[in-house]
Structure 1
Amino acid sequence: MASRFTLTQLEYLIAVADEGSITAAAAKAHATAGAVSMSLKELEQRLGIQLFIRRRSKAATLTPAGQNAVADARRVLSAADELQYSAGSSQKDISGTLRVGCYTTLAPFLIPPLLDEFATAHPDLTVQILEGPADLVPNAIADGRCEAGFLYEDDLPKGFQSRVVRENKPYVILASNHPLADRVAVRLADLADEPLIMFDVPSARSAARFVESAGLSARIRHFSSNIELVRSLVARGIGYSILIQRWPIDLSYEGRPIAAVPIEDPIAAHRTVLAWSSGIRLTRRTQALIEFCEHAFH
């Protein structure tokens, strides 16, 4: 049975979805706006759905059916890309483009080795990173913008498979001259009367819950989504904080020393996972990434 569409039509569809207008998509695809518009009209006729709501200045907004079509188109083009690069190559050859999503707070710990050691090990592979908030990663995987992504296991919705790549137990940071800074571990009760500097991102807001789970009330002094500001305030003795990811250097952005102290209370470790959509055959690119993570991050 003959295909009802071409890969070029799918490429135009994705370009318009990404760029928001036919004119911008045409420039990206090195085609004329007329050719892109005609191609999409033909694609709509063949699929029997309306993909876009066209507006003035050739702007285009995806319909719900169009959003589903774009997600499917990304997967089709990814499979076509895999076929093109795998044909005639050995099973050890990894080529093409691998798009990986990453939760912003995890990026400093995971992306550098990915763009360094992993990319160096596979010189024919192009690695692209989509970085953003926690909910962006599963959405980007679901709609085909990424093949896989890094996020916390607690943020993983249904319909995904994952592999644990790191485990981190929450810990306390204190000013280096704090009376508890030299302790082997601290109880949260020891800090009950002190101000908490809250790292204000979804994954870290559990700091207040940790305190409350110990039967205490958190005295929040300041909220910030800037981790370096949080660490700098703590280094100056303005309060303490509870973090998940461990910094390799116990110095604030200003160069002031910080004490990182384990928490004695029973607190579960936070798991970082590499996730992908369930029921989808993994490309060799993604399989290679999983193998790399198992060795590099554990």
Structure 2
Amino acid sequence: MPQFTLRQLECLAAVGNQGSIAAAAAALNLSASAITGALNELERVLNTQLTIRRKAHGVSLTPSGRYVLDEAQGILQASQDLQEMAHAAGTLLAGKVRVGCYSSLAPTVLPELLAAYSSRYSQVEVDFFAGTQQEIFQRLANGTLDLAFVYDFGLPEGVERTTLYTTEPNVLLPPEHPLARSAKVSLAQLAGEPMILLDVPPSREHTEALFEAAGVNPWIRYRTADFEVTRSMVARGLGYAVLVQRPAADVSYEGLALAVRSIHPATRRVRITMVRSQSVRPSKAASAMFDLALELHTRR
């Protein structure tokens, strides 16, 4: 029988995710000495050094510590699943699932998914986070997100990816713009026009790559960090934009019309992807959300 305890593994996971004894103690509502004692005992039982502890510099994991942490997260998740399923006598899915989404994707992806999931699995507590892809990848790596929805650009190592659907970028123009009379617009036609760039990775990198491939140097007049601000500025006649997501209605927050046109020649379609950490065993609740997301988008 193993001589370590789940509490010791939980302390290691908290230290690995939080980066310090003090932060781990706060997260688990334990004393710092209790965390230290648990780590010491775990290292003794496993007969290996798991952490490097430096005063005022936090705690880092050794290669052995990183390996044990990866395995420990799966064990802790399995134990949580067992407790929750036993409590429900195996008849209900319970527990908690934490989902992330790139901010400009969130209005398109999350509401339908969360509504359908809550209806089907009412006993599961759902939490979500919308932010940048860098923030999402960090949270996947430290175990504070179970799965996430992102653009398939610049994905880091260590994530499992599944394509949810594909879409294509479009040009947004004020309705009165001369180019809005055409069904399609080439990037070359936009070269001298003021551009409103959604200046958030990976949207920025994707837009820059489109223009670079077309041999066009855009005139970036404004930069924004918000999807809807970008659309509203276009509707006010301040410039054009290239965006991947297209809401159901081609109007801004102010109710002003937008002209949305396809790019000619056609550009490569963009993959919207579900990602999960390869080092974390998914809970039953997280696996159910993963399956439901695929189901919803397969119907379309």
Distance in 2 of aligned mates of 1:28 and 1:88: 25
Residue 211 of structure 1 aligns with which residue? 211
* Structure 2: gaps (5+ residues): none
Residue 95 of structure 1 aligns with which residue? 94
- Is the 1:187–1:265 Cα contact (8 Å) retained in structure 2? yes
Equivalent AA in structure 2 for residue 201 of structure 1: V
Per-residue CA deviations over 1:149-195 (Å, capped at 9, x if unaligned) read 21222333455433222221100111122122243222223322212
Residue 12 of structure 2 aligns with which residue? 13
- Is the 1:71–1:144 Cα contact (8 Å) retained in structure 2? no
Among the aligned pairs, what percent are the same residue? 34
Cα distance, 1:261 vs structure 2: 1.6
Per-residue CA deviations over 1:94-153 (Å, capped at 9, x if unaligned) read 222223333333223222233332123111212233444324444544444333221222
Aligned pairs (5 A) from 1:61-100: 61-65=59-63, 66-87=65-86, 93-100=92-99
The 1:282–1:50 alpha-carbon spacing in structure 2 relative to 1, beyond 3 Å, is closer
- Is the 1:101–1:148 Cα contact (8 Å) retained in structure 2? yes
The TM-score normalised by the length of structure 1 is 0.84
Cα distance, 1:82 vs structure 2: 2.2
Residue 155 of structure 2 aligns with which residue? 156
Distance in 1 of aligned mates of 2:91 and 2:265: 47
- Is the 1:195–1:219 Cα contact (8 Å) retained in structure 2? yes
- Is the 1:75–1:144 Cα contact (8 Å) retained in structure 2? no
Cα distance, 1:271 vs structure 2: 0.8
Residue 290 of structure 2 aligns with which residue? 290
Moved more, 266-275 or 217-226: 217-226
Bigger relative contact order (CA 8 A; separation at least 6): 2
Distance in 2 of aligned mates of 1:105 and 1:19: 28
Secondary structure at the residue paired with 2:128?
Answer: strand
Residue 258 of structure 1 pairs with residue 230 of structure 2: no
Residue 118 of structure 2 aligns with which residue? 119
Cα distance, 1:73 vs structure 2: 2.7
- Is the 1:100–1:146 Cα contact (8 Å) retained in structure 2? yes
Residue 60 of structure 1 aligns with which residue? 58
The 1:137–1:75 alpha-carbon spacing in structure 2 relative to 1, beyond 3 Å, is farther
- Is the 1:72–1:143 Cα contact (8 Å) retained in structure 2? no
Cα distance, 1:87 vs structure 2: 4.6
Aligned length: 295
Distance in 2 of aligned mates of 1:215 and 1:16: 49
